[in-house]
Amino acid sequence: KNQVEQSPQSLIILEGKNCTLQCNYTVSPFSNLRWYKQDTGRGPVSLTIMTFSENTKSNGRYTATLDADTKQSSLHITASQLSDSASYICVVSDRGSTLGRLYFGRGTQLTVWP
């Protein structure tokens, strides 16, 4: 069964600190991996997307890494801000179907305290 597992389930950090969120997946054949940010009561917003050949992708203070051999990805947030408080969802797409099916993790709930 294709799965996406994220850790930790929740995380609390102080404003200005860095943090790293983890994503392990078993989806095969792999197409791409995306990180989304979902604010409470809102829809997810795309942060990064990486294909098999990409090891790292940055978007401002967000940097995602991908190791397709070990099927692991991380999202590093630098100099956290209060507005970073949200759920961060790892999403993996396969290339075994025309649709390019997406497999969603349950997310890591990040809380940034002042």
Binding site for another protein (CB under 8 A): 4, 31-32, 34, 41-46, 49, 51, 89, 93, 95, 98-102, 104-107, 109
Residue 62: Cβ-neighbour burial (10 angstroms; 0-12, 13-18, 19+): middle
Q: For tokens 């649709």, what's the residue?
A: 99
Closer residue to another protein (CB): 33 or 77: 33
Which one, 32 or 74, has the nearer CB to another protein? Answer: 32
CB of 44 to another protein, least distance (A): 5
- What element of type H or E holds 56? strand 56-59
